[in-house]
């Protein structure tokens, strides 16, 4: 089998390539790439495989062609920067692929901007949704974002403003390396009303004078929007921290928050799993406003729905972790559904304030052959009294953690 050459090219096509890159392309019996890449070589005499009809079938053709012919795959800039190189390697095999990068669009954009980028955070919304972007970029000083003709700079700016991220200015570099190259600075409000070329890179730079609140794990309860004057529909900080620890979240975990209340668990879970997904459900319509307000305040892009679990959970992706802060009287059916859907190695954490709920939860976990451990958390907080300090106790809470016996540690 011949080695497949993956060659990065810029928006100036073959004119911007080193001579040996151009020679490899000319000698290629088959060239593959997007329609824009192939259009740079209209007189090429070899077979052309377009990615327009789908990447996977095209890569199957590339692999088959490479058994007897010289194949070149054309890619944008650095093929390893959210590019095609990794897919080609998975399809053909690492030992059968050579990758020859060009300048990446991110390199060029920072060069035009005139600033270093070794500490920049890089994201891509090219061919993927913006869900979860808020918690991934929040607080970063410099962020480079690759867009596409659907997730445009205009939509990106509107998304960021939804979370109040007006502390960023945007440098938009369009058509880099081509005769129509254009680079401009925008504030987000203006960018949200501006149409840009589909070929662009957006660099967000935080204004140095703006101080962004830092929220570590265990956000104090009073920072959350919650029902007033009747407080209590919030998982208290000490219980929340222990529950999140028991959930054992990874950076890409899928989390269910059932009975979201104020959304405090969803907020902190989103920060602990910035590359994952958090799905929350709350049956009380009056509380949804607080959940939505907390989602925006803490810049955590999780999904919240109005409903009574387990109805609607079948549409959610299977979870690595489930938090049940309230069941609405449907605990039996709810826990059985969660146990069936839980991914290998996952955990279900239930908060109970009554002996009856504790007993019911333990029986259900036993029936599902789940291993359990529980902690009764009884917390007292300091409170001033005149010039002195007394301790005021909170209601005790049982934190029950269930997992499949083969996963239990």
Confidence of residue 268 (pLDDT cuts 50, 70, 90): very high
Tell me what pLDDT residue 40 has.
94
Same-domain check for residues 65 and 141: no
Does residue 212 belong to any structural domain of this protein?
Answer: no
Does residue 211 belong to any structural domain of this protein?
Answer: no
Point out the least confidently predicted range of 10-14, 18-22, 149-153, 254-258: 10-14
> Where is the domain boundary, 180, 206, 232?
206
Same-domain check for residues 21 and 78: yes
The stretch 164-179 carries a mean pLDDT of: 95
What distance in Å separates the CA atoms of residue 126 and residue 133, rounded to the nearest whole number? 13
Q: What percent of the chain has pLDDT over 70?
A: 98
Tell me what pLDDT residue 2 has.
86
Does residue 409 belong to any structural domain of this protein?
Answer: no
Which among 269, 270, 267 has a CA at the least distance from the CA of 226? 267
Same-domain check for residues 55 and 143: no
Same-domain check for residues 179 and 289: no
Q: How many domains does the chain have?
A: 3
Same-domain check for residues 17 and 77: yes
Domain with residue 329: its CATH number is 3.40.50.150
Q: In this structure, is the dihedral angle defined by the CA atoms of residues 166, 169, 175 and 180, taken in order, positive or negative?
A: positive
pTM: 0.89
Residue 280 pLDDT greater than 60, yes or no: yes
Provide the residue range defining the domain that includes 118.
106-206
Domain with residue 188: its CATH number is 3.30.950.10
Does residue 89 belong to any structural domain of this protein?
Answer: yes
> Where is the domain boundary, 206, 239, 257?
206
Same-domain check for residues 28 and 167: no
Same-domain check for residues 328 and 252: yes
């Amino acid at each position: 089998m011949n080695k497949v050459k993956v060659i990065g090219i810029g928006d100036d096509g073959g004119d911007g390539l080193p001579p040996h890159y151009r020679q490899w392309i000319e000698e290629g019996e088959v060239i593959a790439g997007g329609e824009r890449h192939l259009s740079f070589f209209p007189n090429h005499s070899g077979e052309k495989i377009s990615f327009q009809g789908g990447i996977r079938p095209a890569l199957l053709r590339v692999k088959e062609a490479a058994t007897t012919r010289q194949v070149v795959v054309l890619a944008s800039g650095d093929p390893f920067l959210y590019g095609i190189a990794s897919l080609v390697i998975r399809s053909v095999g690492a030992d059968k692929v050579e990758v020859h990068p060009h300048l990446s669009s991110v390199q060029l954009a920072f060069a035009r901007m005139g600033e270093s980028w070794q500490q920049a955070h890089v994201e891509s919304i090219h061919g993927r949704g913006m869900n979860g972007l808020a918690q991934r970029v929040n607080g970063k000083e410099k962020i480079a974002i690759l867009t596409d003709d659907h997730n445009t700079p205009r939509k990106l700016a509107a998304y960021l403003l939804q979370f109040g991220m007006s502390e960023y200015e945007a440098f938009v570099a369009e058509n880099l390396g081509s005769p129509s190259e254009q680079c401009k600075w925008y504030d987000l409000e203006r960018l949200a009303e501006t149409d840009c070329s589909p070929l662009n890179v957006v660099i967000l730079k935080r204004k140095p004078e703006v101080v962004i609140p830092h929220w570590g794990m265990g956000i104090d309860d009073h920072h959350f929007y919650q029902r007033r004057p009747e407080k209590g529909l919030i998982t208290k900080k000490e219980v929340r921290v222990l529950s999140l620890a028991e959930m054992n979240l990874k950076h890409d975990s899928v989390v269910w928050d059932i009975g979201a209340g104020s959304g405090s668990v969803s907020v902190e879970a989103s920060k602990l799993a910035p590359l994952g997904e958090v799905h929350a459900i709350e049956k009380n319509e009056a509380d949804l406003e607080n959940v939505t307000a907390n989602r925006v305040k803490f810049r955590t892009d999780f999904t919240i729905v109005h409903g009574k679990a387990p109805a609607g959970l079948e549409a959610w992706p299977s979870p690595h972790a489930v938090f049940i802060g309230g069941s609405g009287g449907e605990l039996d059916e709810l826990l059985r559904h969660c146990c069936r859907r839980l991914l290998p190695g996952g955990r279900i954490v239930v908060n109970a304030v009554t002996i009856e709920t504790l007993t019911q939860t333990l029986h259900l976990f036993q029936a599902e052959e789940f291993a359990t451990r529980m902690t009764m958390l009884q917390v007292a907080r300091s409170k001033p009294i005149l010039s002195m300090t007394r301790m005021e106790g909170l209601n005790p809470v049982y934190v029950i953690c269930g997992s499949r016996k083969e996963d239990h540690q």
